[in-house]
Amino acid sequence: MRTALNWALALTLALTLAGAAKAATWYVRPGGDGSGMSWTDALGSVQAAINSATASDEIWVASGTYNEAITMKSGIALYGGFSATETVRDQRDWVANETVLDASGKTERALSANEISRTVIDGLTITNSGPNTEEYYPERGGITLNGVASASIRNCRIFGHVAVIGAGVYCEDASATFINCAISDNLTQAFQGGGAGLYISHCSPTLIQCIISGNFAAGGGGGIYCVESSPKLRHCSIIDNYASSMYYPVRGGGIYCLDSSPMLTDCTVLGNSFDGFYFNGPSWPIIADCTVENNSGPGVSCYYGASPHLTNCTITSNFGGGVDSSYASSPSLSDCRISQNTAAFGGGIYISESSAALTNCAITGNIATVDGGGVYCYASSPTFTNCVIEGNQTDHHFGSGGGILCDRSSPTLTGCVIRSNTATFYGGGVSSGWSSSAVLIRCLISENFAFEGGGIDCGSSDVLINCAISGNRAGIGGAVYSYGSSAMFTNCTITNNRAELGGGGMSCESSPVPNFTNSILWNEGEELRGGSSFPQITYSAVEGGYPGLGNIDADPLFVDAANSDFRLSAGSPCIDAGTRVEVYDDLDGNPRPVDVLGRGHAGADAYDIGCYEFQLPSGDLSGDGFYDPLDLFIFQRDWMKDMGVGSPGFPLSRE
């Protein structure tokens, strides 16, 4: 038994050594005419070395230019960047010793790999696949990978190729990894020719630390075109690529994805035309920690069912808007910064017939030349959670919705700040018109400006709950402008707003009219401006008074109105003066209602007026809203009761 085992081990070792012995290094240098077994006896053709090599062999190619088109074989590793003196591979320098594979005048692609496996291409400059006559254009470009298993392309420069599609790299049904490669200045010239840099079809290649730049596609995807693929890009730059056609509009100057779900991490998409990203069709791309900047088109476009998820991305200075979400797309963005973008509609983000979701995003400093400086919604129901919409503007003389414009839409905003936006006409912060029904919960709308409705221009049936609308300015309706709106304001604080022509708090025209409950309207100048219509107000504090059940005309006694702290001080008449509503927290997220002893309504009816519910201070044992000697007395009494002692001054009974 032991003898048989020893023979088996010996046979295995012999086969292993025999396999290792077969691996060879082949040498190629310009003008070589030898056997290829050393630098001094080198071959002069790369293809000749490939033809001679077998699986696991390496081919070392010295610097120089080789005018040929090559076809790879399985298991071959092709290395460039040698000075023809090296004895180990690590001695080479592919930057100083440029090795050029030049396919000028050839009818084949510069480098083809078809139905093979385990191939390596490292340290080569691959160029000039293209027409050898004025009429002939190769279907595919510089590097073609078709049905390849495990291809590794490293430290390569791929440029100057012309083809119908995939001029730089054509990758179909292939498993490939590109590391530290530059794919640049390639051209697709035929009608609808896409993917000038890379054309990726039905596969999932990986690109790491690659630069894709200066490519021009006559169809979509100047830099990259993906079809039913899921490429992964890490630390890559997609810069100054172009997609254009004289016959029809094309998209995706940087990346065009058709029914594809790429994953990009820490990438830069810069200066492309048209679009940085264009996602078309059902897909779920993941974009993380990326910068999308200065593209002459939307930074990110999502169409026809595309559902990309963007996390911690910066989308800035794009000249077609930051994000375009249209036709049943549903992008989600979290922790993103959308700033300094410009478009006709929706400088920051344009949402049409879609359902975008944004969480913890900042939409700042964007410009719409018509409407919707920060956000434009058409026939959509987007959600915004804990977002900041600030410093956006419209430039058109009838421009509306400095922060956000809603057109036949029902957006929901929760915990958002809408601040310092400007519209030339309606709705400095929010313009909710044309059959829209915006819902705003726990939002701050402040320091916005418009001719009508500095804070908000109300739509058909908006709902605002626990919102603070303060410091806004307008010609008419400093805080709120309503024309035929039945908006509902519940537990809102509307204060310190101003209108030069009337209605510091609100201007109300036409029926139906808004309804205010448990709200504070305490503004500069004329509080309410109405033509033939006035709002319905109940259980609210209105400066100058207003008819309605439970209304009061008393200073709300804010904690620090001069510094925009509109919480209620302990002596506020608004404490427990509201009515029961189905609202269970306030603008700070604190619980409602809080029953303050001896004030207004009690128990479940003890709602405060305004967006903040007064919270009992720590140590207020009596529950009267103050920390005073009575609380010390109660503490001492309860302590002695717990200790089991009593005295005439501290009876054990609470009664």
* Domain-wise residue ranges, the chain: 137-319, 466-615, 616-655
- How far apart are alpha carbons 541 and 608 in whole angstroms? 11
Please report the pLDDT score of residue 637 as a whole number.
63
Using one digit for the tens of pLDDT, what is the confidence trace for 285-307? Answer: 999 999 999 999 999 999 999 99
Task: Give the pLDDT means over successive 10-residue stretches in the chain (655 positions).
Answer: 45 43 88 97 98 97 97 97 97 98 91 96 95 61 93 98 94 97 92 88 98 94 96 98 77 95 98 95 96 97 97 98 97 98 98 97 98 97 98 94 96 98 97 91 98 93 97 97 94 97 92 94 91 89 96 97 95 96 95 88 93 82 54 56 57 43
- How far apart are alpha carbons 321 and 341 in whole angstroms? 5
Tokens 């084949």 sit at which residue?
108
- How far apart are alpha carbons 83 and 64 in whole angstroms? 9
Please report the pLDDT score of residue 652 as a whole number.
44
Using one digit for the tens of pLDDT, what is the confidence trace for 43-78? Answer: 999 999 999 999 999 999 999 999 999 999 999 999
36: left (phi over 0), alpha (psi -120 to 50) or beta: left
Please report the pLDDT score of residue 616 as a whole number.
80
Please report the pLDDT score of residue 8 as a whole number.
44
Please report the pLDDT score of residue 244 as a whole number.
86
Residues 6+ apart with CB under 8 A from 435: 408, 459, 460
Give this prediction's pTM: 0.91
Residue 108 has a CB neighbour count (10 Å cut-off) of 14
Query: Residue 506: helix, strand or coil by DSSP?
Result: strand
Which one is the CATH code of 137-319: 2.160.20.10, 3.40.50.720, 1.10.3720.10, 2.60.120.260? 2.160.20.10
Please report the pLDDT score of residue 511 as a whole number.
79
Residues 6+ apart with CB under 8 A from 603: 595
